[in-house]
């Protein structure tokens, strides 16, 4: 279950938008917010969470470790604590490669339809 890549670049995301990007429930994002120190979304005057780009990147990293690689929460916390910057760089590279793969598969499909 891979997350959906957003095409537009926004400064702030709502919890619903982030949940849609990662293909998870908003309640899971609230849970991860309590469990992981690196996720600290701001709240507006109404109390709604406002996620910045860095928050989304950190959540993608948590999603990758927990959902795709099968880490326990404690294992993911330790891995992030020990190697946060390197993991973010690796995660962004994986995202870019997935995007390229998706584009190439779309191109292949369009060429085979002709």
What pLDDT shows up at residue 4? Answer: 55
Place of tokens 């989304």: 56
What pLDDT shows up at residue 8? Answer: 57
Q: E strands within the chain?
A: 12-13, 42-43, 49-52
Which residues have C-beta within 8 Å of that of residue 27, sequence separation ≥ 6? none
Pairwise CA distance, residues 66 & 31, whole Å: 13
Reading phi first (left if > 0) and then psi (alpha if -120 to 50, else beta), residue 47 is in left
Residue 3, class by beta-carbon neighbours within 10 Å (0-12 exposed, 13-18 middle, 19+ buried)?
buried
Question: Taking the CB of residue 85, how many other CB atoms lie within 10 A of it?
Answer: 7
What pLDDT shows up at residue 27? Answer: 96
Please give the structure tokens belonging to residue 57: 């990147």
Q: Which CATH architecture has domain 12-112?
A: Orthogonal Bundle (1.10)
What pLDDT shows up at residue 72? Answer: 95
Which residues in the chain land under pLDDT 50? 1
Pairwise CA distance, residues 107 & 111, whole Å: 6
What pLDDT shows up at residue 21? Answer: 92
């Amino acid at each position: 279950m891979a997350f959906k890549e957003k095409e537009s670049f926004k400064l702030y995301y709502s919890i619903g938008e982030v949940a849609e990007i990662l293909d998870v429930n908003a309640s899971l994002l609230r849970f991860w917010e309590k469990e992981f120190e690196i996720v600290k979304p701001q709240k507006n005057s109404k109390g709604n969470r406002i996620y910045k780009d860095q928050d989304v990147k950190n959540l993608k990293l948590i999603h990758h470790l927990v959902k795709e690689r099968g880490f326990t929460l404690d294992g993911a916390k330790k891995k992030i604590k020990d190697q946060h910057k390197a993991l973010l760089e690796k995660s962004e590279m994986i995202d870019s490669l997935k995007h390229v793969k998706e584009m190439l598969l779309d191109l292949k499909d369009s060429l085979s339809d002709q």
